[in-house]
A and B are shown apart, each in its own frame.
Chain A
Amino acid sequence: MKQVIRRYRNTIIMGVVFTLLLIIIPTIRDKAISSFLNQMKTILFVIPPIFVLLGLFDVWVPRETMTQHLGRGSGIRGIIIAFALGSATAGPLYGAFPVAAVLAKKGGSFFNILIFIGAWSTTKIPMLLFEIKAMGPLFAFTRFIVSIIGILLIAQIICIFITKDDRTRSLETLASKYI
């Protein structure tokens, strides 16, 4: 119970502020409530199936075998696997860093790790499903394709900009973060 309250502390505070504001300023009442319900509806309807899919992803996608194919010289296959690995998750960007450490430890190439980070940040499949629903398929798919190009470009540009030393040092730092 205590844990639940702590977890919902911010929500409760905002709920109180929300209610107070509606009482003090009645002119915003209708708009605030309808906007809240509108967004709530999207979330309640769309989120459950996405999280079920996520759970299934997590259980069925064999991460271990995938990470073995990310080394230098893994070519297009390595890039595709890096994309798939990053896209099949739902965590925030900072959740990707520890996983990147695992990839570095297991011999993943620097380029593929950058692809993985990029994919984790923007081309997540569960997120795409949600984006289609909220923003429309045209917006979502365009952003998806543009992002894939962007991720490849950014990874390539980083690899051009940095020296071999930078790359080795970065891979070592990453691998040392592996617990």
Chain B
Amino acid sequence: MSTIILYSIAITALLISFFNDRKKTKRALKKAFKSLTNILPQFLTVLLIVSILLAFFNVETISKYIGEQSGLLGIFSSAIIGSITLIPGFIAFPAAAELLNNGAGVAQIAAFISTLMMVGIATLPLEISFFGKKIALIRNGMAFIFSFAAAAVISWVVLL
């Protein structure tokens, strides 16, 4: 259902753009294709890794470590993993959905996604070079703490 809506939006936008400016539309499509081919190899690699890992860890194992019952410790470890890893959300979402289906908890996955996007340990040196040490550290620290609040609210709403 949501796929149909998504396609309708994209096609409508494309048509509107096309009737307004063909050149711009062509440039947009070229950009779309280029970003798609840029991300594809990374995509497939992560997909293969996640599939193997999921096949090794059964539902019981996943639930034990990052399931609903793993509580604060599970949320904390998910947040740590999210802070360290450097994968685009596009790739993380299908994997996260698959983990949810295999016994992971909503709060734990929410914390993982939140830190994955907001906290960047790997990119910290780069961020420091742009913003300075103090600001970069405060920002990442705050974002890490925030992910717990986000996890709490999201799991509360979803499990309501």
Contact = CB atoms under 8 A, between A and B. Distances in A.
Interface of A: 7-8, 10-11, 14-15, 17-18, 21, 28-29, 31-33, 35-36, 38-40, 42-43, 45-56, 58-60, 90, 92-94, 97, 100-101, 114, 117-118, 121-122, 124, 127, 129-139, 142-143, 146-147, 150, 153-154, 157-158, 161-162, 166, 169-170, 173-174, 177
A55 to B, nearest CB: 3
B83 to A, nearest CB: 12
A92 B88 contact: yes
B149 to A, nearest CB: 7
Given A52-B32, A55-B32, A55-B35, A130 B98 contact: no
Contact of A94 (B7, B24, B123, B143): B123
Contacts of B72: none
Given A114-B139, A122-B117, A143-B113, A150 B146 contact: yes
Interface residues of B, number: 74
A134 B96 contact: yes
A92 B31 contact: no
B90 A36 contact: no
Contacts of B55: 28-29, 31-32, 35
Contacts of A133: 2-3, 6, 93
A31 B54 contact: yes
Interface string B18-59: 000000110111111101100001111101111110111000
Contacts of B35: 51, 54-55, 90
B120 A135 contact: no
Contacts of B126: 94, 97
Contacts of A18: 48, 51-52
A162 B135 contact: yes
Contacts of A97: 126-127, 130-131
Contacts of B11: 49
Nearest to A48: B36
